[in-house]
Amino acid sequence: MANVAVMATTNNNHPTTTSRWNMSSLRSSLPPIPPTSASSLRFTRPSPTTLRISRVKSQSLLPSFTGLRPLPIFAPPSEFSGFDHGFTVIDNGGRVYAMRHGRKVPKLNRPPDQRKALIRGLTTQLLKYGRIKTTRARASAIRKYVDKMITLAKDGSLHKRRQALGFIYEKQIVHALFAEVQERYGERNGGYTRIIRTLPRRGDNAPMAYIELV
Amino acid sequence: MMAASVDPLVVGRVIGDVVDMFIPSVGMSVYFGPKHVTNGCDIKPSMAINPPKVTLTGNMDNLYTLVMTDPDAPSPSEPSMRELIHWIVVDIPGGTNPKRGKEILPYIGPKPPVGIHRYILVLFEQKGPIGMVEQPTSRVSFNTRYFASQMNLGLPVATVYFNSQKEPQAKRR
C-alpha cells in the first residue's frame, strides 16, 4: 500500500492554466544574455566542527571548548556568510556542541561542494520535468531552493535572472521559467512544491518521494 | 501549511485536476498482469501495453462507464495537451469487467515522453444504457468532467491512479 502524505501544499481552486513553454521560440525572441559574472547565491555555512584551542598565554590554564579569545583577525562579523570567502562562520562564539540542536541545514551525506551540486542538479531537473522521484531527504532539502528560484523568477529583473542563471544548470530552463511563472504562480504566495511520499526503493529500502511543482 | 488531507486522490491532485470530490461507492480493482494497482504506485509502460484486468463490485443491473486518462500530457510541468484519453468503455454490467462493455475508444498503453505522468482510471455509474457513442475527434484536450456531463454520468463512483515514466532503453547496470 502506498503511504502518502503532503508536506507543503496550499489549498486553492485555481483553474488549470495551459502554460506554454515553447522553448525554441522563447530563445529566439529573448535578447542574448551576456555570460554570468559574479552571480552567486549565498548559502549559510554550517557551523564549524573543528575545535579551537585558546592561546596558551591566556589566563586559563586549560584549553577550553568555549571559545576563542577574541582576536581581531579571527572574529568575522556575524552576518558574514558565503562560499567565496576563506573565513568560517562562527555564529555561536566558537562553541562546539556534541549534539545537533537547532542545526537545520541538511547535509545529505556529502561534503559541501557535492551537496551544492546535488541540490542544483535536483532543482534543475524538477523545474525541467515538473515531477521527479527521489529520496525523501533530498526532496525536502530542495524545497527551499525551488521556491527561491520561483521567487527570483517572479521578480523578473535582470539581476534576479542572472542570479537564477548562476544556480540552474541549463539556461533554457531559466528563460522558460521567467517567461511563464507569472501566469502560473502569480497569485500563489510560496509553497510552490508538493511532496508525496511513496514506497521505498527496492535496492536499499530508501524512503522515496515524488516532488512536484504545485 | 500542513497536510490538507490524507486521501491519496486529493494528495495526488487527481481530485481537482480530473474529477471532483466524490464518495466512492463501488469497489474497483485493477491488475496489470500480476501487479495490483494502488493509488500512486509505479507501473512500467512495458507492463501496461495490454488493457488491465478490471473487476467491479456492484450488482448486475447497473451499467458503468470506465475512462482512462492522462492529465500530464506531454509533460507534468507543461501539460498543454491535458488530458490525453487512453480508453473509454461504456455499458459495463456491474460485478464484471470491461470486456463485457462496449469499447468506444480502443485502449492505448501509457507512453510518457517526458517526466512522470499520472494515469487515472475513473468509473462512472450510468443511469441507463448508452449504446454506441461516436468517438471523440481526437485524444488530446479531453475533459473528463465535460464528458461526464455530456453522457449525463454525474460524479464518479470509483477512481484509481498510477504513475508511469519512460523506461530507459538500455537496462541500467
* CATH number of the domain where residue A187 is located: 3.90.1030.10
Q: What is the pLDDT of residue A3?
A: 46
pLDDT band at B12 (very low <50, low <70, confident <90, very high): confident
Helix, strand, coil shares of chain B, percent, nearest 5, are 15, 35, 55
- Number of structural domains in chain B: 1
Closest CA of chain B from A195, distance in Å: 9
Q: Report if residue A7 sits inside a domain.
A: no
Q: Report if residue B9 sits inside a domain.
A: no
Q: What is the pLDDT of residue A18?
A: 46
C-alpha cell belonging to residue B36: 495490483
So what's the ipTM on this one? 0.71
Domain that holds residue A195: 112-213
Q: Chain B partners of A6 at a C-beta cutoff of 8 Å?
A: 2-5, 11
Q: What is the pLDDT of residue A170?
A: 94
Q: Chain A partners of B142 at a C-beta cutoff of 8 Å?
A: none
Q: What is the pLDDT along chain A (214 residues), one digit of tens a residue?
A: 444 444 444 444 444 444 455 666 666 666 655 544 444 444 444 444 444 444 444 444 454 454 544 444 444 444 545 556 567 777 778 888 889 999 999 999 999 999 999 999 999 999 999 999 999 999 999 999 999 999 999 999 999 999 999 999 999 999 999 999 998 899 999 999 999 998 899 999 999 999 999 8
Eight-class DSSP state of B48:
G
Q: What is the pLDDT of residue A82?
A: 54
With 0-12 CB in 10 A as exposed, 13-18 as middle and 19+ as buried, what is A93? exposed
Which of A6, A16, A132 is nearest residue B11 as measured by Cβ atoms? A6
Q: Evaluate whether A120 touches A169 at the Cβ level (below 8 Å).
A: yes
Q: Report if residue A138 sits inside a domain.
A: yes
Domain that holds residue B54: 26-162
Cα A177 from Cα A194, distance rounded (Å): 18
Give me the numbers of helices (H) and strands (E) for chain A, helices first please: 5, 3
Q: What is the pLDDT of residue A29?
A: 65
Q: Chain A partners of B141 at a C-beta cutoff of 8 Å?
A: none
Q: Report if residue B21 sits inside a domain.
A: no
Eight-class DSSP state of A144:
H
Q: Report if residue B107 sits inside a domain.
A: yes
Q: Report if residue A66 sits inside a domain.
A: no
- Number of structural domains in chain A: 1
Rounded mean pLDDT of B66-73? 90
Q: What is the pLDDT of residue A95?
A: 83
pLDDT per residue as tens digits for the range B96-116: 888 888 888 889 999 888 888
β-pair partners for B122: B67, B159
Give the residue numbers in A contacting B (CB under 8 Å), as ranges.
1-2, 4-11, 13, 16, 18-21, 127-133, 191, 194, 196, 198-199, 210, 212-213
Q: Report if residue B13 sits inside a domain.
A: no
pLDDT per residue as tens digits for the range B163-173: 998 887 776 66
Interface contact B82, partner A, CB < 8 A: yes
pLDDT per residue as tens digits for the range B136-165: 888 888 888 888 888 888 888 889 999 998
Lowest model confidence (mean pLDDT) among A64-73, B22-31, B70-79, B113-122: A64-73
Cα B84 from Cα A208, distance rounded (Å): 27
Which of B6, B39, B76 is nearest residue A131 as measured by Cβ atoms? B76
Q: Report if residue A153 sits inside a domain.
A: yes
Q: What is the pLDDT of residue B148?
A: 87
Strands (E), B7-62: 28-32, 35-36, 41-42, 53-56
A187-214 b/e (C-beta count within 10 Å ≥ 16 → b): eeeebbbbbbbbeeeeeeeeebbbbbbb
Closest CA of chain B from A180, distance in Å: 10
The pLDDT mean for chain B works out to 84
